[in-house]
Amino acid sequence: MNNHSKNNLIYIKLFLSVLFFGGTFIAGRIMSANLPPFTSAFLRFLLASILLLLIAMKTYGGLPKLKPLQILLIISMSITGIVGYNFFFFSGLKLITASRASMIIALNPSIITIFSMILFKDKLTKIKIAGIMLSLTGALIVISRGNLMEVFQGKIGLGELFILACALCWSSFTVLGKIVTKQLKPIIAITYACLVGTFILLVPAIMEHELPHFLNYHLEVWASVFALGFFGTALAFTWFYEGIEKIGPTQAGIFINFVPVFATALSVLILNEKLYPSLLIGAVFVVSGVFLNNYRPNSK
């Protein structure tokens, strides 16, 4: 395979990875309607951990031994990005539509930019400030259904608050991952985080008393578990980080713009969700903001 074909394959994998990321909102919506949040999260990451472990074994020959500081960072990643994110993710999707949730989650790049500025002293350029403001405005339009006064009057629903907490958890996970991946390969770090997160999730999942009834789960629930664990986690992460490694984080990051677009399109096609004007207007602001956050001017 020549270099041109290899590059085309990378772009196809990146496109599919963000399509799978978008699909997690649809699968999550189905699971949240049938199972409690910790049980849903445990099943998702039990499957994802097994698959990621197999990928790590095949690619790197196994998992390296971690240093004490790396262990603490991996545990922190697990608590924020696996346990916290998925509890709020499934709890939120039980209350609001997948399309609305995906637009709120699209705040991630803006939150990550702010976190990076505070923790790593990253420069906040005028373009990034504009991106943050656009994303925030779009999210507020979506959250308030076009009536921004509801936000200032504290009339935000519990589902929206869950998804906002979800975005904060994922941003924390990403910032912690930025530290860890300076020492470990991304797939190694994610595999460790998933394994630890699955172990942590087991206890609250058992307390929800749904795991013993797994033989009674509907087929659509098992299909959603597979979609989330295989496509939306193991495969999507592997291909996305392969793209980062091959073409760089800047070019690969641009593909993230499509996650809320795919999530919204799939929610309409599969879940028959309605597209309200406030959602469409908010989507334009959010996606534009995400694009500006990922934009890097060409250097000569």
User: Is position 26 within any domain?
Assistant: yes
| Domain-embedded: residue 243 | yes
Going by pLDDT thresholds of 50, 70 and 90, the confidence category of residue 44 is very high
pTM for this model (two decimals)? 0.84
Q: Whole-angstrom Cα distance, residue 210 to residue 38?
A: 10
pLDDT score for 249: 64
Radius of gyration of the chain (CA): 19
Query: Token digits for 185?
Result: 């390969």
The answer as to whether 71 is a domain residue is: yes
In this predicted structure, the answer to whether residue 3 has a pLDDT above a threshold of 70 is no
For residue 226, what pLDDT band results from cuts at 50, 70 and 90?
very high
Residue 300, in any domain of the structure: no
Tally of domains in the chain: 1
pLDDT at 6: 64
- Give the CA dihedral 225, 75, 109, 147, nearest 10 degrees: 70
Distance of CA 87 to the CA centre of its chain: 13
pLDDT of 101 strictly over 70: yes
Give domain status of residue 229, yes or no: yes
- The residue segments making up the domain with residue 183 are 3-294
Cβ neighbors of 52 (< 8 A, separation 6 or more) are 187, 190, 191, 194, 233, 234, 237, 238
Q: Are 61 and 191 in contact (CB under 8 A)?
A: no
Q: What is the mean pLDDT of the chain?
A: 85
Of the pLDDT bands very low, low, confident and very high (cuts 50, 70, 90), residue 206 is very high
Kindly report, residue by residue over 242-278, the tens digit of the pLDDT: 887 777 666 676 777 788 888 888 898 899 988 888 8
Helices (H), the chain: 3-34, 37-60, 68-77, 85-93, 98-105, 108-120, 126-144, 149-152, 158-180, 186-207, 219-226, 236-247, 249-254, 258-271, 277-294
pLDDT given at position 32: 93
* % of the chain residues with pLDDT over 90: 43
Written as six digits, the tokens of 131 are 């991106």
Check pLDDT > 50 for residue 300.
no
Higher pLDDT, 50 or 116: 50
Residue with tokens 């996606």: 287
C-alpha–C-alpha distance, residues 16 and 84, integer Å: 26
Query: Does residue 299 form part of some domain?
Result: no
Q: Does the pLDDT at position 86 exceed 50?
A: yes
Higher pLDDT, 50 or 177: 50
Compute the average pLDDT of residues 227-249: 86
Comparing 46-50, 96-100, 161-165, 200-204, which segment has the lowest mean pLDDT?
96-100
pLDDT higher than 90, residue 219: yes
Higher-pLDDT residue of 297 and 136 is 136
pLDDT of residue 246: 79
Average pLDDT (14-36) is 93
DSSP helix/strand/coil, 96 = coil
147 three-class SS: coil
Q: Are 80 and 169 in contact (CB under 8 A)?
A: yes
Q: Is the pLDDT of residue 152 over 60?
A: no
Predicted local confidence at residue 10, as pLDDT = 86
